[in-house]
Amino acid sequence: MTNQKWIGFGKGTKNKKGEYIEMYFSPDDISTSAAEIKEGYEKVEVSDDVPPSSVPEAYLKLHLLSLRLVKPNETNLDGIFGILHTVAWTSAGPIDSNELKEFLNEKRNKGEYVKVYSVDKFPCLTDYVALNDVRIADASRVRLGAYLGPGTTVMHEGSVNFNGGTLGEAMVEGRIAQGVIVGDKSDIGGGASTLGTLSGGNQVIISIGESCLLGANSGLGIPLGDRCTIESGLYVTGSSKVQVIENGKVKETVKAMELAHKSDLLFIRNSITGSIECRDNRNVNELNEDLHDNN
């Protein structure tokens, strides 16, 4: 993580206490050098190695990620949950959740209807950043702060958390957790899950190399190299005992974490013994190019 500094000029929404609850930054208003003050805008400065200390700073960092100016895990986001307000994201704009009841009553008494899309600390990426080289089937499942590489397709059941994402063309039908990075040409199958670091005690940042496949309803708790496959329905955690197979025989039994970052691996569950096995992966995952043509 570098000490790169960023300056942005944003416009945001305040609650009745005068506190910012969100802020938008145009890509044209973000730079790495000093800039003249823009009248009517809030000037915000952040550094990649320093955690955010305010809502405007947090939103600038989330914009940096979704605009592909920094990659996941390259900017310090420590404490962001404690900084961000819980916001009702509505058809009338963002409303502080503590003010939602009164706001809805006022609107209904005037005969006006307001749609509440979600009540969350993070908004949808698509409400703040326009990417013309990706597809997102359900915008509510991709948070601002997600990093989507060119050519990525996020299907209806796919989801991408902030500070996680894809570095190139990828198919996302499962869940990319906070901090998880997926390489080019990889496929996260339907219902597949990646282990994040926000809760549950996991401290290992999960990365998935290029041309990997996580089968449907599989799970991953170790970093993978390139050209790896996890069988459908198999969850591989760092402590999983794995039998390494060579020439049809068990060479050794290791914890899955000992195989972290290695390439050309196939993880399967032996349907007779129930053991997790690791073999050479002879079938490299290939994406359907037609599904990643976003024109």
Query: Hey, what are 13's tokens?
Result: 């929404």
Instruction: Report the chain's C-alpha Rg in angstroms.
Output: 22
**What is the chain's length?**
295
Rounded Cα distance, 280 and 272, in Å = 20
d(CA 250, CA 113): 65
* CATH code of the region 5-85: 3.30.70.2010
From the candidate CATH numbers 2.60.120.10, 3.50.50.60, 2.102.10.10, 2.160.10.10, the one assigned to the domain spanning 125-286: 2.160.10.10
Q: Whole-prediction pTM value? A: 0.93
Domain residue spans of the chain: 5-85, 89-120, 125-286
pLDDT in tens, the chain (295 residues): 899 999 999 999 999 999 999 999 999 999 998 767 788 899 999 999 999 999 999 999 999 999 999 999 999 999 999 999 999 999 999 999 999 999 999 999 999 999 999 999 999 999 999 999 999 999 999 999 999 999 999 999 999 999 999 999 999 999 999 999 999 999 999 999 998 876 555 678 999 999 999 999 999 999 999 999 999 999 999 999 999 999 989 999 999 999 999 999 999 999 999 999 999 988 776 666 655 565 5
pLDDT at 287: 64
In sign, the C-alpha dihedral spanning 259, 208, 121, 67 is: positive
**Is there a shared CATH topology between the 5-85 domain and the 125-286 domain?**
no
Q: Which residues are catalytic?
A: 173
